[in-house]
Amino acid sequence: FEKMKDGVRVFNCARGGIIKESALVDALNSGKVAAAGLDVYESEPPAGNHPLRSHPNVNLTPHLGASTQEAQESVGVEIAKAVADAVRGGEIRNAINMPSLDASTIEKVGPYLDLCSKIGTFVQQLALDKIESLTITYYGKVVDLDSNSLTRSVLKGFLQNISGSNVNFVNAMVLVERLGVGVEVVCSSAETDFTELIKVEAKCHNGEVVSVEGTLMGKGNSPRVVAINGRDVEVEPCGYLLVIANSDETGIVGQLGTIIGDAGVNIASMSLSRNEIGGIALNIAGLDSEVDDVTMEKIHAIKAIKQAELVYLEC
């Protein structure tokens, strides 16, 4: 207090003990401190005979932070209600790893968040070189939704295998920026074969362009990948997916089935697409389990195979 100007006014609403109360009383009595206001104390509540209680130039208020039993109970109840609302699919508020979303927004965008995340993860695993930019395009009914939440979900999925558990809806934008990956969001009025469609296109350092498109299907709003690199497919984005581009020749599917079967892995589903007879075919095989490196080498050894990538998406 000696270093302060005469007639200073002192307020402490931070922590009790920052100001030595006995020294404050002396400074008040000497006139060094003209007035003081406190809502935190060395001992809470201050004793009934504490000189600050009766001093005419002191204004004391109860500590209303979470240090009182009543406040702690109220904060605990509020947190419990917020968690319950979030896990039940209701409003998300005051979360540290996700933007606050009201119940109405959650109801509308909720089914799309998982789809967006999986498309982002899919694109990242398909790219053979460093990705320099992402273009996220929304079509149809999706245009009217909260694109910020959807975009964050795409980026969260994209970063999943890069940043691991450290990525969330809040920091996804920042982490992508730190990686030097540009992000463009487009809300398109162009017509598609689907009433709602989300497309993520990645441009790589080597000039390669990779794209994945997805939508929701059925009464259960099940996520589906409906195009890869512009080729029509229908794939459930779940588990291990073997994505193969090959010359459109007879016997390729049989060779793949034999190699995968010899590895003891069951093929659960298969989606086939080709651009023209004798052109390039795209095969996506859903597998019940992972295939090892030896099996992948055998697949790559097939002369007709142009590219083969094993993708994993959480179900």
Q: Report yes or no: 278 and 219 within 8 Å, Cβ to Cβ.
A: no
DSSP string, 200-235: EEEEETTS-EEEEEEEEETTTTEEEEEEETTEEEEE
Q: Report yes or no: 223 and 214 within 8 Å, Cβ to Cβ.
A: yes
DSSP string, 44-72: SSPPTT-HHHH-TTEEE----STTSHHHH
Q: Among 239, 132, 124, which residue's Cα sits nearest to residue 177?
A: 132
Separation between Cα atoms, residue 288 and residue 270, nearest integer Å: 12
* Residues, the chain: 315
Residues annotated catalytic, as ranges: 15, 44, 63
> Encoding tokens for residue 144?
């009217």
> Encoding tokens for residue 312?
């994993």
Is the peptide bond between 45 and the residue preceding it cis, with omega within 30 degrees of 0? yes
The two beta strands, 33-38 and 8-12, are parallel
Q: Report yes or no: 244 and 307 within 8 Å, Cβ to Cβ.
A: yes
